[in-house]
Amino acid sequence: MPLPAPSSSKSTRKADKEVLFKGVTCALIGLVILLAPYVARSTSVRELMGQAALVGWFALALGIAFVVQYAMRRSKAARRQP
């Protein structure tokens, strides 16, 4: 006998939380990469992290996009339920 399908609201909430987790993680990684040249003590680390600035901006933008997607999903779900 097949198992019953999980409720859509429970799986939707889990997916929303995953999007938020990905967004915060990507944003933090981007911030660390962008701020590392200013905090690093070693010149070689400063140069290396300075060259990775494009990657840091991409990670930060991707993280912000995920967080915006999470906010849009939550606002859409809140409008559906009175």
pTM: 0.79
Mapping DSSP onto H, E and C, the string for the chain reads CCCCCCCHHHHHHHHHHHHHHHHHHHHHHHHHHHHHHHHCCCHHHHHHHHHCHHHHHHHHHHHHHHHHHHHHHHHHHHHHCC
Q: Break the chain into its structural domains and give their ranges.
A: 22-80
Amino acid 31: pLDDT: 96
Give per-residue pLDDT as tens, 52-77: 999 999 999 999 999 999 999 999 88
Is it the case that residue 46 has pLDDT exceeding 90? no
